[in-house]
Amino acid sequence: MFIVNDYSLAIIFCVITMFCWGSWGNTQKLAGKTWRYELFYWDYVIGVLIISLISAFTLGSMGENGRGFINDLAQADWKNIGSAFLGGIIFNAANILLSAAIAIAGMAVAFPVGIGLALVLGVIINYMGSQKGDPLFLGVGVGLIAIAIVINALAYRKATSGNTKVTAKGILVSVIAGLLMSFFYRFVAASMDLDNFESPAAGMMTPYTAVVIFAMGIFISNFIFNTILMKKPISGVPTNYKEYFKGKLSIHSVGILGGIIWGIGNSLNLIAAGKAGAAISYGLGQGATLIAALWGVFIWKEFKNSPKGTNGMLVVMFILFVLGLISIIYAGQ
């Protein structure tokens, strides 16, 4: 299987993750013009599962290093399989709740509370599980990116004239989403032997196998989570599976593409974790929020005709973001 043995390559993979995790949402915007989010989300989940299997049977099965996907799956301990599967369930619940938080309280609340909490707690949790990297530079980097996320949310709030009504329900859902999001990665990482991908300990999995089990956790749990969401939507009228199967191939393809983009980032991130460490990989990956902001500023023109001072906030946000990334990368040297 393909293994990353160079720290620089591991960082490149993490940066690609950041772009993938920050870019898949564009497919939701495209599909959202004619397609309900709940229906789009099914295609997204299918895309995540498809790319995990492609990765496992290609990069995860090539060469002489490590265990091939089938052999690795056959020897995997049920405890580790359950850990990666649980990671998928937790991620799916967090992702859906974050979408609910955005609908209830808006991005200005959901992102700094949800994603900010997930970033800070997630790095701490993953560092405690696998202590790779300088904790000082890692902490400084995470702090700078967390501040950048808050400034991004304030800029968004300013651009929308602060019309979003902050409610206790919106904040609560954001906090729950953030807490769940901060834990999912650790469960997946715990199922792998992060110290030795070439000869993993018996019962533990390679990242390729762990990603497949993780994707299965997302897919199977979606029959519960998304079915509830379809019957009791956050906004709009209820929908059903009959409407899903009425969708054209072109609209389904957009959602599947979104899942594939996110899944590529997820696979590369876990592959890189063996060399960079789980905390650094996760921290860099969660910088995706700022990549999404770049799309919003330059492509979707979300800040067009914003009040005076908004552009200055965006500049400060991007500077802090870059400095935070540099600090996290340096932490692993």
Model pLDDT, residue 221? 98
State yes or no: pLDDT of 136 exceeds 60: yes
Most confidently modeled range among 31-40, 142-151, 265-274:
265-274
Model pLDDT, residue 18? 94
Model pLDDT, residue 85? 98
Average pLDDT of 76-89? 98
Average pLDDT of 253-270? 96
The Cα 16–Cα 4 span in angstroms is 14
Is 216 within 8 Å of 46 (Cβ atoms)? no
The Cα 195–Cα 290 span in angstroms is 30
pLDDT confidence tier of residue 102, bands split at 50, 70 and 90? confident
Q: How many residues would you count in the chain?
A: 333
Burial (CB count within 10 angstroms: exposed 0-12, middle 13-18, buried 19+), residue 234? middle
Q: In degrees rounded to 5, what are phi and psi of residue 192? A: -110, 155
State yes or no: pLDDT of 281 exceeds 90: yes
Most confidently modeled range among 227-236, 263-272, 288-297, 318-327:
263-272
pLDDT confidence tier of residue 258, bands split at 50, 70 and 90? very high
State yes or no: pLDDT of 299 exceeds 90: no
State yes or no: pLDDT of 289 exceeds 70: yes
Arithmetic mean of pLDDT over the chain: 91
Average pLDDT of 57-62? 95
The residue ranking higher by pLDDT, 89 or 131, is 89
Average pLDDT of 208-222? 98
- Burial pattern 262-290, b for ≥16 Cβ within 10 A else e, equals bbbbbbbbbbbbbbbbbbbbbbbbbbbbb
Average pLDDT of 159-179? 78
Q: Please give, one letter per residue, the 3-state secondary structure of 166-224.
A: CCHHHHHHHHHHHHHHHHHHHHHHHCECCCCCCCCCCCCECHHHHHHHHHHHHHHHHHH
Nearest to 108 by CA among 176, 36, 159, 35: 159
pLDDT confidence tier of residue 333, bands split at 50, 70 and 90? confident
Average pLDDT of 259-268? 97
State yes or no: pLDDT of 135 exceeds 70: yes
Average pLDDT of 73-93? 97
Model pLDDT, residue 164? 55
pLDDT confidence tier of residue 163, bands split at 50, 70 and 90? low
The residue ranking higher by pLDDT, 166 or 316, is 316
Model pLDDT, residue 162? 54
Nearest to 156 by CA among 109, 115, 189, 113: 109
Model pLDDT, residue 161? 67
Average pLDDT of 194-200? 91
The Cα 291–Cα 14 span in angstroms is 13
Average pLDDT of 56-83? 94
